[in-house]
């Protein structure tokens, strides 16, 4: 597959995911491998369905920022870095305004289908787990900083 073909499939994946379309399964190889934080590793299309069941009744909306995704192809792999916004249990997450929203996914392809997808993100989308944050949180405008020197640097710009 060309990198352009891989990117087109992944763009379709994100679009179908945002729409909650069951047709997303058509993009997966029968033997797809899935990794998602706190879910762990799953094999097969059924594992994808199991993973998304956790969000049923909790995830009210999600929208990935298609325009600003970074695509990094490497052979059978495509790494995608991006952001999302959404509502989970009535609470909003917004990239740049809340801790959640940034992700990095690693896709692998076989037979023009996704054979592997590993999702790397903080599953605490809305920042409810603040009690275990290891760094002091400083808010500058709508940006988060981890210490005073970073906050000072942000204020200068």
How many structural domains comprise the chain?
Answer: 2
Cβ partners under 8 Å of residue 65, min gap 6? 82, 83, 84, 85, 95
Q: Are residues 81 and 24 both part of a single domain?
A: yes
How many CB atoms are closer than 10 A to CB 70? Answer: 9
Q: What is the pTM of this model?
A: 0.80
User: Which structural domain, as residue segments, surrounds residue 138?
Assistant: 133-157
Q: Are residues 51 and 112 both part of a single domain?
A: yes
53: left (phi over 0), alpha (psi -120 to 50) or beta: alpha
The per-residue pLDDT for 153 is 47
Q: Are residues 94 and 150 both part of a single domain?
A: no
Banded pLDDT at 106 (limits 50, 70, 90): very high
Higher pLDDT, 140 or 93: 93
Q: Are residues 20 and 64 both part of a single domain?
A: yes
Q: Are residues 22 and 80 both part of a single domain?
A: yes
pLDDT in tens, 19-36: 989 999 999 999 999 998
Any idea what the CATH number is for the domain that residue 45 is in? 3.10.450.50
Mean of the per-residue pLDDT values of the chain: 83
Q: Are residues 120 and 145 both part of a single domain?
A: no
Quick one: how far is CA 143 from the chain centroid? Answer: 20
Q: What span, in angstroms and rounded, lies between the C-alpha atoms of 48 and 28?
A: 10
């Amino acid at each position: 597959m060309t990198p352009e073909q891989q990117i087109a499939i992944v763009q379709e994946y994100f679009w179908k995911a945002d729409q909650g379309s069951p047709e997303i399964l058509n993009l997966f190889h029968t033997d797809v491998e899935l990794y998602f934080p706190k879910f762990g590793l799953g094999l097969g299309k059924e594992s994808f369905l199991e993973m998304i069941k956790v969000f049923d009744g909790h995830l009210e909306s999600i929208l990935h920022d298609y325009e600003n995704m970074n695509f990094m192809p490497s052979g059978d792999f495509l790494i995608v870095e991006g952001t999302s916004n959404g509502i989970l249990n009535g609470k909003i997450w917004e990239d740049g305004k809340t801790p959640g929203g940034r992700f990095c996914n690693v896709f692998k392809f076989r037979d023009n289908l996704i054979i592997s997808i590993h999702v790397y993100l903080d599953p605490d989308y809305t920042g409810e787990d603040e009690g275990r944050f290891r760094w002091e949180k400083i808010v500058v405008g709508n940006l988060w900083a981890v210490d005073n020197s970073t906050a000072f640097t942000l204020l200068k710009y």
